[in-house]
Amino acid sequence: MKSLTDTLWFNTPERKAIINITDEVAERVRASKIQEGLCLVSAMHITAAIWVNDEEEGLKADLMEWLEKVAPANPNYRHHRTGEDNGDAHLKRTLVHHQCILPVTKGKLDLGPWEQVFYLEFDGQRRKRVIIKIIGE
C-alpha cells in the first residue's frame, strides 16, 4: 500500500467563501501515482468545511443562503461567551461536514459527471489548512 499526504493553505480576504479545489486535489492524486484507492480531503479547522457538488453559481448562493437561515449570524450564541463571535461558523461547518472521501480509479480522481470539490470558509481572514491524504495501490 502506498500513500501521499499534502496540504492546501487558505487565507481568504472575506469571512465567508467557496473555493473550488478540484484541480488541486486531482493533481495530488496524479502525483501519488496510486492507481486504485481513496482520497481523503479534510478541512483542518473547526469553522471550515469540504463540500462535493456542482460548480454552479446559483447553487453555491443557495447553499450559503440556506446555511444562513439554518445557522444565522447571531450575537446570542453561547459560544460567544468565550469571547468569540463565530458561533454560526461552527454550526455551518457541522451542517456541511468537515471532510469527504473520494475514489481513485485508474490513477485519477473519480468524480461523477458534475461533481467538484470545494473548500467552504465560514470564518476566514486567517490562515487555515486542508489535508489531502491518498492511500491505495
What pLDDT is recorded for position 131?
A: 98
CB 39 within 8 A of CB 24: no
Q: What's the pLDDT band for 93 if we cut at 50, 70, 90?
A: very high
Strands ordered across the beta sheet of 99-105: 2-10, 128-136, 36-43, 99-105, 108-109
Residues 6+ apart with CB under 8 A from 79: 86, 87, 90
Burial of 116 (0-12, 13-18, 19+ CB in 10 A): middle
Q: What is the pTM of this model?
A: 0.96
pLDDT of 38 reads 98
pLDDT of residue 109: 98
In the chain, the percentage of residues whose pLDDT exceeds 70 is 100
Cell 444565522 belongs to which residue? 72
- CATH, domain range 1-51+99-137: 2.60.120.460
Q: What is the mean pLDDT of the chain?
A: 97
Question: 501515482: which residue's cell?
Answer: 33
Q: Record the cell numbers describing residue 85, joined without a space.
A: 463571535
Residue ranges per structural domain of the chain: 1-51+99-137
The pLDDT tens digits for 61-81 are 999 999 999 999 999 999 999
pLDDT-based confidence at residue 34 (cuts at 50, 70, 90): very high
Could you read off the pLDDT of 20-33 as tens digits, one per residue? 999 999 999 999 99
Burial label, 65 (beta-carbon count in 10 A; 0-12, 13-18, 19+): exposed
pLDDT band, very low/low/confident/very high, at 58 (cuts 50, 70, 90): very high
